[in-house]
Structure 1
Amino acid sequence: MSEVFKIIDFVYQVYFYMILIYVLMSWVPAVKTSFVGELLGKIVEPYLSIFRRFIPPIGGILDISPIIALIALQFVVMGLKTVLDVFV
């Protein structure tokens, strides 16, 4: 079971940093339009768009939906690990 938890933690950390890098890349438009930026966008944007539908930018400028998305992702991982721990 410990190996499964390690895999879940690894995948969570990779996706967490992908979201973080994608958000930081949004500050530099030239980087966001690069190959890496577009690739990250295809992987991360479907998840972030769920939160952007419900959380409007503050003042029309500050988008806090990635913060909420990362918190939600952490809760999902904790829940998944709890379920696996109980049932397996």
Structure 2
Amino acid sequence: MLTLYQALMLILDVIWFVMIAHILMSWLINFQVLNLRQPLVWQIWNGLNRLLEPIYAPIRNILPNTGGLDLAPLVVFVIIIILQRALANNAGWFLG
């Protein structure tokens, strides 16, 4: 069961870091530091969007429209933190 606990924590950590990379890249694109016409930048951006859109889309449907401000990543961060803390607080259950 310890392996299950570690796998769940690893998955949450990977999602966390992919989201950080996506947010940083979106800022760099918006401030014109990165250009989507570059093939490598486009491939990375497209890949990150494909990974995260299935997570963000249901949350965007629930949240009210805030114009240009996307709050879905913030909500996902809060959910990840809650899940990590819930797993850590119940780690004894995984150990048996």
Following superposition, the deviation at residue 4 of structure 1 comes to: 1.7
State the TM-score, normalizing by the size of structure 1. Answer: 0.71
**Which is higher, the Rg of structure 1 or of structure 2?**
2
The one-letter code matched in structure 1 to 2:61 is: R
Rounded to whole Å, the distance in 2 between the matches of 1:17 and 1:45 is: 15
**SS of residue in 2 equivalent to 1:62:** coil
Q: How many residues align?
A: 85
Q: Give 1:52's match in structure 2, choosing from 41, 60, 64.
A: 60
Rounded to whole Å, the distance in 1 between the matches of 2:21 and 2:56 is: 13
- The Cα RMSD (Å) is 2.7
Matches within 5 A, 1:1-80: 1-27=1-27, 28=29, 30=35, 34-58=42-66, 60-76=67-83
Following superposition, the deviation at residue 3 of structure 1 comes to: 2.1
Contact between 1:56 and 1:63, CA under 8 Å: does it hold in 2? no
The one-letter code matched in structure 2 to 1:3 is: T
Structure 2 alignment gaps of length 5 or more: none
The one-letter code matched in structure 1 to 2:56 is: L
**SS of residue in 1 equivalent to 2:68:** coil
Structure 1 alignment gaps of length 5 or more: none
Rounded to whole Å, the distance in 1 between the matches of 2:68 and 2:24 is: 15
Give 4+ residue runs of structure 1 displaced > 4 Å after superposition. 76-82
